[in-house]
Every structure is written in C-alpha cells, then in structure tokens.
Amino acid sequence: MQTDSSFTFVLFGGTGDLSMRKILPALYEAHRAGGMLADSGKIVAVARHAADRGEYIQWVNEHVKPHVSKNGVDATAWSSFLERIEFVKIDLGNPEDFALLRDAVKDLPGIRVFYLATGPSLFVPICRALASVGLNENARIVLEKPLGYDLKSSNAINDAVGEIFAEEQIYRIDHYLGKEPVQNLLALRFGNALFEPLWRREWVESIQITIAEELGVEARGDFYDNTGALRDMVQNHLLQLLSIVAMEPPHSMDSDSVRDEKLRVLRALKPIDPLDIGKVAVRGQYHSGVIRGTAVPAYATEPGVKPNSTTETFVALKVEIENWRWAGVPFFLRTGKRLADRVAEIVVNFRAVPHSALGASALRAGANRLVIRLQPNETIRLYCLAKQPGEGMNLASVHLDLAFDQFFREGQMEAYQRLLLDVINGRLALFVRRDEQEAAWRWVEPILNEWKASNKPPKPYAAGTWGPAAASAMLAQHGTCWLEEEN
C-alpha cells in the first residue's frame, strides 16, 4: 500500500494512552515499512502535558518506543520518524489557543487529518475551535469511540460535528474493522465461489461472535462504570462484526457500497420485545477469582467503581436477522472482562447432514464449522469429519488451517496502521457511517432501557471463568454451546 499523499496528521491527546500504545506505534510501523507514508508527511502532537517539542520527543522515546515493532526498533527508522513529529502545547478548554495550532500547520503540506484521541466530551468543543480558525476546510476528522452514551447523545454529537464537517470528512473509527482476519472474511466470502452458496439459512445452523478479555477495567474504573459492556463493546465492535458476517455481496469495495450492505443488516435486526429481554440477553459482573494462577479482585472493588455498582462487565445476546438469507438463524454475541481467555473469534456452525449412512456421529450439528480467529493469533480454521484409521467407520473431527503468519512471510499490518493509512488516503469503507451508528444504537437502546427500569443486578461470575451459567443455558436451549478452545 504505497502512497504519494502528502499529509499533516494532527493528534489531539498526544500524551494519552491510545496515542502511546496504538496511534504513534502504528504511524512508526508505516514509516519504517517505507513508501506507505509520503516523505513530506508531518505529525503534529497536541497536548498540554509537555512544555515544548524537546520534552515531547523525550516522552515519545520513553513511553512510545516500548510499544513499537515486535522485532525491535530500527534505530535509523526511529530517528527519521522522530523528525516527522512537531508539537503544539494547547489547553483544549481555551479556544483561543487554537490560533497557535493554525499558525503551526499553515505552512505544512498536504491533506490535514485531525485525530481526536480524547474523551467524547471534547469532540464538539475541539471541532468548533478548529472551525473558528478555519481548520475544518478540506480536512478529515477521526472520532474514537464511544460516540455518545445513547442514541440521543450520539445524535447530538453527530449533529454538532456535522455542522462543521461534511459526512465524507468524518471517519468514525472501529479498530476491529481494520484487523487482518476481518479483511480476510470479506476475501473468503466474496472472492471464493466455494463458500457463498453455503452462507445462508439453508446450510448455517448458528453463528457465534465472541470478544473475550482477561483484563479487568484497569485504570478506567470511573469511565467503565458509567459505560458497561453493552455500550463499550456490543453497540460498536460486535454489531459491526455481525454486519460484515451477514451482509449481502456489495457490487464493489468502494466505501458506500460496503457500508450500504452493512446498514441493511443493522436495519434488519429483529427488535427485542422488552418482555423477552430476560430470555435473549444475559448480563453479568465479575467477582473475585483467579486468572493464570493470579488472584484478581471483584469488579465492585476496582478503583473508580461504585461499591454497589450494577454495571455489566459481561453480555451475551441472541440476535436474529429478519431477511431472506438469515431468517431463523440465531446469532449469539458474547463479550466480557475477566474471562478465562483473551480471544476474539467468529464461529460459523453449519447444519448436520440430513441423513447419514455413516452413523450418528455424522449427524452432529456443528460438526462442520468455520472458525475465524481475530486475536490473539489470527487464523481461519475449517472443521470437517474424517474417518479415523483402523477398523470400522468411526468419525473424528479434523481441520484445515490458514495461519497467516506462516503462509505469508511478510509481517501482517496492525489494525490501526491500516486504518490510519486509509484516513490519510481518503478511503472510508472501513469506517462507520452515521446511519450505521444510529441503527446500532436504535437496536441496543431497548435493552439498556429495560435493564435500567428493572433495576435487577447483573448475574455474578467468578473471574477466570467464561461468564454466568445463564449464557451457556441460552445456547443449550438451541441445542448448541459456546466454542471454548485453548489458544
């Protein structure tokens, strides 16, 4: 992915955790690879926790360098990367300071990209301050999640930002859409005649999408306690993955063709009746437990969390799509913190054969399944039944593996690296359009409202397990179970 696109990349929240762990390392990797970033491109960090450029570069050396390149840092590439970086000290609460930013970037080349790696409460004030000094013209703005707390607040942010930037200037980022296996899911479905005839209700028994974390809330207790797993993970990451799994083939990979098809899926999600939420939605909260031999505390005792908090740290949902392709096929979504493993994967369980001359083992639902793992190791695995060696017709599960790190010798591109390059080069296909976001909030909101109205506490689960038993019981009612394998 080579580019001649000159750019000025302005990073708000330049000393924040996201900049340290993801954004600056991704820009370095693109720089180190050569040809991905125009030589004239500049990075302008905006923060108030450094006095000047020298102090900021020192911070980058101390805090960003440990997060780059698994194979170590190339000293020459690192040195030339630092030469790209400029720094502007700004108090984001003072709009008059933005004149300093205007003066700092006025002679820098190329398209201007403003990346808001800040809290959502600052999105609108920053955009208005940019407009006040004329920096919104011919620019691109990148918004991190969460974009609002509910449909009303999301619309308020989108309305305000939309008064300053046109929709084609706004890049709402969801880093899961930049992951290599998600890209390969599109290639698998739409580049191969083998799978498309099977990708429908006649042949698919159920689909699972899991994003599980071993970590707790870490230092984000105050933020997380006001957010919860449904807002933090389901409304964006999980519903975006579901829409890619279930979408119809787009006529091309241009931005609106892909996003139109995703939107059709989100609008076809079967609304959940408030009376049925207890049957199709499980919420949980972790208690103390053990993860990889280490004792970990309960959520309610984490710093920043209210002692009697009813915020969910786990969600499992049964979702249905009301269209011709997927009618009657349950989609099971699951996410949580302090679970037994760190894994993100999509599991497509195919139906059993209608009749078998080979014995009952060939009639197992899910005997044929496709597992697309997004993390920690990125693979696609197809499970089939085969005869075991020896006498008789005894069948056993075998699998075909596509391990990307073994098949492709060149290193894989991290999600943020791909998405940042897409912003610089003006590619919108992997970013969330406003109408997609609204459709997702509209579907999620009745669940949030019912949980709030019922005032029932989340179901407890021990840290280091796979969540409340009710999540497994929900699948058992459909004759299936969660796929829980060792990495």
Q: Which residues are catalytic?
A: 237
Under 8 Å CB-to-CB from 44, ≥6 apart: which residues?
Answer: 8, 9, 10, 11, 85, 86, 87, 88, 101, 104, 105, 108
Phi-psi region of 364 (alpha: psi -120 to 50; beta: other; left: phi over 0): beta
CA 427-419-346 angle, 5° bins: 110
C-alpha 148/C-alpha 204 separation (Å) is 35
CA 16-19-25 angle, 5° bins: 145
C-alpha 395/C-alpha 353 separation (Å) is 14
Which of 260, 319, 312 minimizes the C-alpha distance to 285? 312
| Cα torsion 324, 327, 329, 334: sign | positive
Alpha helices in 141-179 (DSSP H): 151-162
C-alpha 114/C-alpha 171 separation (Å) is 10
Dihedrals φ, ψ of 406, to 5°? -95, -35
Residue 165's DSSP bridge partners are none
Under 8 Å CB-to-CB from 458, ≥6 apart: which residues?
Answer: 283, 284, 285, 310, 311, 312, 313, 314
C-alpha 417/C-alpha 3 separation (Å) is 14
Residue 113's DSSP bridge partners are 9, 140
Alpha carbon separation from 200 to 72, 139, 206, 350, 451 (Å, rounded): 45, 41, 10, 10, 32
Q: How many residues does the chain have?
A: 487
